[in-house]
Amino acid sequence: MIRISKPRLLPALAGLALALVVACGSSAATPALRPTATPTDPDAITPILATTVLEVGEQRVAFLLATSKGIITAPSAMVTPVYLDGEVSGQTLEAEFNAWPYGTRGAYSTHANFDRAGRWRLDIAVDNPGGHDQTQIEVEVLEESQVPAIGSIAPSSVTKTLATHGSIEKISTDYTPDLDLYQLTIKDAVANPMASVVVFASPAFCTSPTCGPQVDAVSELQNRYDGKANFIHVEIYDNPDEIQGDLNRAEIFSVVDDWGLTKIEDYFNESWTFILDTEGRITERFEGFATVAELENSLLQVLPQA
């Protein structure tokens, strides 16, 4: 793993305030945090959906649970998907808590199978001593989303590399970039016979309550599996060297459009990470922050067995 340091464009991300009323630090104008629910009861649970893009089929569902006292960190929560046009309940699932770096946040995640499009509700139960132990999240499940689906071949995008652009400042907003993440294009990765981890993120401008040091997590994974898989960071912005802390100057990289991320309602710069098998097929996708353990578990499923 090769890292270099460069001047910071912004103050470092300090983490989400536990009151969950302001998004992560950026001096640029950012969208206000919109919890899935805003209870007036101080003992109530405020759920924050991390996976806003849901479609028919089995996929990862992740969410944060917060109270006036902070983030709930119980080891697990129980989730029951309910189809609202008929009140048809699905199987109750166990969602595991995944602690995020720096100890300030964490999210619950599980895999749910939505068998039809439309309005659904996630009924959530969690151990919350001294407060309510249940909450709900209403979600819209699409027949098909604009983001490349699990099971599809990844778009063969020609992304930026150090070889094509020379300066790391032209292709990444990372303060301490890992140069190993800028050696291949997605097209290269899809064509070669190795599994791949592709992360779309803007490290310096992480602004939502569900974002985190995603590129650092991918870099750590790359360090563990160097030579066994491809690892690529795609910067959200096309002109990182020109932004200089002012997102009014920022232009979205065209590949981000090609992957459908900008077609997501209210999309700003949320990170997305995709796991590709040796044939370039997407086997998992992570909207918002995913821990190293989550990424590693998915990667191990597509690495050739020794």
Band of residue 244 on the pLDDT scale cut at 50, 70, 90 = confident
pLDDT of residue 48 exceeding 70, the answer is yes
Q: Say what the pLDDT of residue 13 is.
A: 28
Q: Which of 48-52, 160-164, 263-267, 290-294 has the lowest mean pLDDT?
A: 263-267
- CA atoms of 209 and 266, how far apart (whole Å): 14
pLDDT > 90 in the chain, percent: 72
Phi (first) and psi of residue 5, to 5 degrees: -105, 150
Residue 2 forms part of a structural domain:
no
Contact between residue 259 and residue 157 where contact means Cβ atoms under 8 Å apart: yes
Is residue 5 in some structural domain?
no
Note the pLDDT of residue 47.
96
pLDDT beyond 60 at 147: yes
With bands split at pLDDT 50, 70 and 90, how would you rate the model's confidence at 8?
very low
Residue 242: inside a domain: yes
pLDDT value of position 38: 52
Which is more confident, 294 or 41?
294
Mean pLDDT of 6-30: 33
The pLDDT of residue 19 is 33
More confident residue, 201 or 130: 201
Which domain range does residue 166 map to? 162-300
- At 57, the pLDDT band (50, 70, 90 cuts) reads very high
Number of domains in the chain: 1
The residue with greater pLDDT, 34 or 251, is: 251
In a domain, 8, yes or no: no
Q: In this predicted model, which residue has the larger pLDDT, 83 or 35?
A: 83
Token digits of residue 49: 């959906």
Predicted pLDDT at 40: 65
Residue 29 located in a structural domain: no
| Residue 261 counted as domain residue | yes
Instruction: Look at residue 232 and tell me if it is in a domain.
Output: yes
Identify the CATH number of the domain in which residue 244 sits: 3.40.30.10
Has this prediction a pTM greater than 0.75? yes
Residue 107: name the closest of 72, 133, 82, 79 by CA.
Answer: 72
| pLDDT exceeds 50 at position 22 | no
Mean pLDDT, the chain, whole residue set: 87
**Residue 48 vs residue 6, higher pLDDT:** 48
Query: Predicted confidence band at 75 (pLDDT cuts at 50, 70, 90)?
Result: very high
Residue 83 CA to residue 99 CA, distance in Å, equals 29
Hey, is 263 helix, strand or coil? helix
pLDDT tens, position by position, 163-187: 999 899 999 999 899 999 999 999 9
Instruction: Give the pLDDT score at 245.
Output: 81
- 130 to 17, 36, 67, 139, 191: CA distances (angstroms): 21, 22, 11, 28, 54
Is residue 43 included in any domain, yes or no? no
Which two three-digit tokens encode residue 263? 């077609």
Answer with the residue of higher pLDDT: 257 or 17: 257
Q: Please tell me which residue, 104 or 36, carries the higher pLDDT value.
A: 104
Average pLDDT of 260-281?
A: 95
Task: Give the rounded percent of residues in the chain with a pLDDT score beyond 70.
Answer: 87
